[in-house]
């Protein structure tokens, strides 16, 4: 297939592009606005592969999107482009509404016109796969059962509300216009090439440099963790074999509290590059909780595992080991990211707290 991937230079998007080029015969048209969190380096060998094409464009730009569809004639769309950082959405929700809601609407409208004009065989085969988050389901209590594909929506932050809105738009375009859509909701991703404002890289880099490791509240907030390469493989299966109108809840069955994650990173670094000053857990500081901080997310992926014949191969410890090793081996990349793209913001300040 020729697959249009939006946000293909972002963290999850680049993992999807790498997976497609390495493990399938598909070709990829990669549409990315190249905002602060995008990295062409993350494409690795896919950047120069003949089956990959990078188009620098904004998904909110209607004429540009029409041109992309008309020129490259995709067989499927995998829509990953989004603003994703909760703290940023609290500080300034506007870009989240624009990218996540208006951008998704623009893509849907262009995709609908394009799909309706396809010849019958191509029209039947076309797919629009929208990639979303478990945060749209709201927060779980300590004893609540995990989220599933049928959990009611209850978003709590500007970020999750914007993603919930985009999910609803996708389903509305399917039910109203017949556009063959699929939706997937995923757990927290971690792994290679993640922008260093998210929990795992933030803590890894701060701990490596002996900086404070700020943790919201008492660190008991719980997230379900999924190694990004495992997620990319699952997303590929969804777009290849998923049922039209279906939803797929994807996770690695690896719930951890934020404090457990921070301690695991400290232990991994201590084992690899011991700090003469002592165990890095000494750097942990508990800070005031952020507004509306959801207590727990967890996904039951049973239906997805059965439908796709897929199960995440990495447990959290194995995935974290690969991730920490990668950041240790790629200092030049993340130092460059922090120097060029943070516009004065520093990872060591308590504004960028270690929670998700």
Surface-to-core class of residue 286, CB atoms within 10 Å of its CB (0-12 exposed, 13-18 middle, 19+ buried): middle
What does the block give as tokens for 254?
């690896």
Q: Which of 32, 58, 83, 135 is catalytic?
A: 135
144: nearest Cα among 253, 303, 305, 297? 297
What does the block give as tokens for 225?
């963790």
Residue 159 designated active-site: yes
> Using an 8 Å Cβ cutoff, are 217 and 289 in contact?
yes
Residue 134 designated active-site: yes
What does the block give as tokens for 184?
């997937």
Q: Which of 105, 114, 159, 327 is catalytic?
A: 159
Q: Which of 87, 134, 167, 229 is catalytic?
A: 134
**Which residues are CB-contacts of 10 (< 8 A; sequence separation ≥ 6)?**
32, 37, 38, 42, 80, 81
Give me the helices (H) in the chain, please.
11-23, 62-72, 86-91, 94-96, 103-116, 120-125, 158-177, 199-208, 228-241, 258-272, 302-308, 316-329, 331-341
Terminal CA-CA length for the chain: 35
> Using an 8 Å Cβ cutoff, are 244 and 174 in contact?
yes
For 75, 80, 180, 251, the CA distances from 175, given in Å and listed in that order, are 20, 21, 9, 27
What's the length of the chain? 356
For 259, 268, 269, 327, the CA distances from 272, given in Å and listed in that order, are 20, 6, 5, 12
What does the block give as tokens for 7?
């946000």
3-class SS at 39?
coil
Burial track 89-119 (b if 16+ CB lie within 10 A, e otherwise): bbeebeebbebbbebbbbbbbbbbebbeeee
Residues that are catalytic: 134-135, 159
């Amino acid at each position: 297939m020729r697959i249009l991937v939006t946000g293909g230079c972002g963290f999850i998007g680049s993992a999807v592009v790498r997976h497609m080029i390495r493990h399938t015969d598909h070709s990829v048209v990669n549409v990315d606005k190249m905002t602060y969190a995008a990295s062409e380096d993350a494409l690795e060998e896919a950047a120069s592969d003949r089956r990959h094409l990078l188009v620098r464009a904004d998904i909110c730009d209607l004429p540009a999107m029409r041109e992309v569809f008309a020129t490259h004639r995709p067989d499927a769309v995998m829509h990953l482009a989004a603003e994703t950082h909760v703290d940023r959405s609290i500080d300034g929700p506007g870009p989240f509404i624009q990218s996540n809601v208006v951008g998704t609407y623009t893509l849907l409208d262009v995709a609908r016109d394009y799909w309706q004009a396809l010849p019958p065989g191509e029209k039947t085969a076309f797919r629009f796969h929208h990639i979303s988050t478990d945060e749209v389901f709201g927060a779980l209590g300590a004893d609540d059962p995990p989220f599933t594909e049928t959990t009611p929506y209850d978003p709590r932050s500007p970020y999750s509300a914007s993603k919930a809105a985009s999910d609803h738009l996708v389903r509305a375009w399917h039910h109203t216009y017949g556009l063959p859509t699929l939706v997937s909701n995923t757990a927290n991703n971690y792994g290679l090439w993640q922008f260093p404002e998210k929990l795992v890289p933030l803590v890894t880099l701060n701990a490596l440099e002996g900086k404070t490791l700020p943790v919201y509240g008492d660190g008991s907030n719980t997230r379900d963790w999924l190694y990004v390469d495992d997620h990319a493989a699952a997303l590929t299966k969804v777009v290849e074999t998923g049922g039209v109108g279906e939803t797929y809840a994807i996770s690695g069955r690896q719930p951890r509290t934020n404090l457990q994650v921070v301690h695991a990173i400290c232990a991994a670094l201590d084992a690899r590059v011991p700090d003469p000053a002592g165990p890095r857990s000494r750097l942990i500081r508990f800070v005031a909780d952020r507004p509306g901080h959801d207590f727990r997310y967890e996904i039951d992926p049973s239906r997805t595992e059965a439908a796709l014949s897929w199960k995440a191969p990495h447990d959290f410890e194995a995935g974290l080991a690969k991730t920490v090793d990668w950041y240790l081996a790629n200092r030049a990349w993340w130092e460059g990211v922090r120097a060029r793209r943070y516009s004065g913001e520093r990872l060591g300040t308590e504004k960028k707290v270690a929670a998700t």
